[in-house]
Amino acid sequence: MNQSQIIDGAKVNIAKLYAQHLAEKLSRFQAILAETGFDEIVIGSGDSKMQFADDMAYPFKANPYLREWLPLARRAGCYLQISAGASKPRLFLLTVEDIWHTAPETLPADFEQGLEVIEYASIKELKLHLSQAEGGTAFINETNKLGLAAEFWNPKKVTDQIDFQRRAKTPYEQECVREANRQAVPAHRAAYQVFMSGASELEIAAAYLAACNQSENEMPYGIIAGVNEHAAVLHHHDLFKQPQAPRSFLIDAGVAVNGYASDITRTYAFDKGSDFAEMIVVMDAVQLELVAAGGLGKSPIDLNVLSHLRVAEVLRQFDILNVSAEEAFEADITAAFYPHGLGHHLGCNVHDRGSNLASGQGDLLPASEKYPKLRSSAAMVANQIHTVEPGLYFIPALLAKLRAGNNSSKINWSRVDDFLPFGGIRIEDNIIVHADGLLENLTRDAFSGIDS
């Protein structure tokens, strides 16, 4: 990301936003230290992992607890120290001579001003800078490289507090996700154009990567590019290399900016005059209605219920149901066509943490009885970023269970057969719930920016 960008006629200084972000995070973590009684929180980025019985490493990605502080997603061996009463976090960077690999990732220009940066060469040297008090350090990392007692390694009373505070995104975090949407949308357009030319799924994914100028390892998650029936595979990553006669296309793909993700899905029909194309238009209107239904204090559980009612109405509109939308909803028929939740919290994790916490003490909100696996149950709060992604799919395994069950007569199976070759539909936007009650649709704004 450039240090300054022109957005809607105004210059956004990313380095300035980052300095404010560090100050806000430091304040939040000082409160966590006061609450939990630790002298310091030390967060490790993680270490490179070697493949079994091989001399090559897996692609590295820093853990999200570090990424919410630092745009160093690809640098192993980093440690961030947040000490009680300190005016700056201390960043420890491992420095070793390495002629075999590219120089390690560095901070963007002007990002170091709010940090005290210290180089270290070994864990023994690193430990000299840490709290010497027994139990003074809360260590957040995948492995216990500091050799602390188990209760001080990823202590739940600290990680729960961190997860809870991550719900509200700083202006810097919001701008990172906003920019991640701006970078992803042209790539979505490129993928659509290649699909319309009859390309294979692998060629579509390659066009996406080229358009956003990122490698596959930089993606926040694996590109989902399902052509025809593969649009019904919710996480279709085993992309086909052979082109297929195109009927439909679902792409779920984002971009990572400074460790923060966008998560965008669009579905297309090759034949613009088909019933499936009309169904996409109707689902797009449903998705926008569900976006508008969100806001401060709104319950993701209630919104999920509303999304199932709306999907039932779509099924009835396209003559897939032999009963009313209300009866289909009460019979839980929609679960066979729409088996996932409406959305999730978005940030450093694509499925960001803290959305089911009632407090920083780790108390969980009660799960929905009808939809117990929802990723989000906490009411929406100011500055939170959510995805809104209703779906309607024709998944053979789920439809086979429906056909064999007590509700089979409520389905017009000939219409199901008409739609099976198209796979399904998902439409997903990223939204910010602002403190003034307004909803900012980052994804629609990004599409408007390139379509205008």
158, 179: one domain: no
**Cα–Cα–Cα angle for 126, 66, 20, rounded to 5 degrees:** 110
Q: Are 220 and 262 in contact (CB under 8 A)?
A: yes
Instruction: Return d(Cα 52, Cα 133) in angstroms, integer.
Output: 38
Residues 246 and 339 in one domain: yes
Of 242, 207, 214, 212, nearest to 227 (Cα)?
A: 242
Transcribe 155-200 into DSSP letters. -HHHHHHHHHHTTSPPHHHHHHHHHHHHHHHHHHHHHHHHHHTT--
CATH number at residue 70: 3.40.350.10
Write b or e for each residue in 313-331: b if 16 or more Cβ atoms lie within 10 A of its Cβ, otherwise e: bbbbebebbebebeebbee
Q: Which amino acid is at 331?
A: A
Amino acid at position 426, single letter? R
Inter-residue contact 184 to 262 (CB < 8 Å): yes
pTM: 0.95
My answer on whether 149 and 230 are in the same domain is: no
Same domain, 87 and 204: no
Based on the domain organization, do 287 and 371 belong to the same domain?
A: yes
Q: How far is CA 220 from CA 45, 264, 315, in A?
A: 16, 11, 33
Instruction: Provide the CATH number for the domain around residue 397.
Output: 3.90.230.10
Domain boundary among 136, 165, 194: 165
The residue out of 97, 131, 165 marking a domain boundary is 165
Domain end position, chosen among 140, 165, 190: 165
Q: Each residue of 145-163: b (16+ CB within 10 Å) or e?
A: bbebeeebbbbebbbbbbb
User: Which structural domain, as residue segments, surrounds residue 140?
Assistant: 4-165
Per-residue pLDDT of the chain (452 residues; tens, 9 = 90+): 444 444 443 457 999 999 999 999 999 999 999 999 999 999 999 999 999 999 999 999 999 999 999 999 999 999 999 999 999 999 999 998 888 888 899 999 899 999 999 999 999 999 999 999 989 999 999 999 999 999 999 999 999 999 999 999 999 999 999 999 999 999 999 999 999 999 999 999 999 999 999 999 999 999 999 999 999 999 999 999 999 999 999 999 999 999 999 999 999 999 999 999 999 999 999 999 999 999 999 999 999 999 999 999 999 999 999 999 999 999 999 999 999 999 999 999 999 999 999 999 999 999 998 899 999 999 999 999 999 999 999 999 999 999 999 999 999 999 999 999 999 999 999 999 999 999 999 999 999 988 76
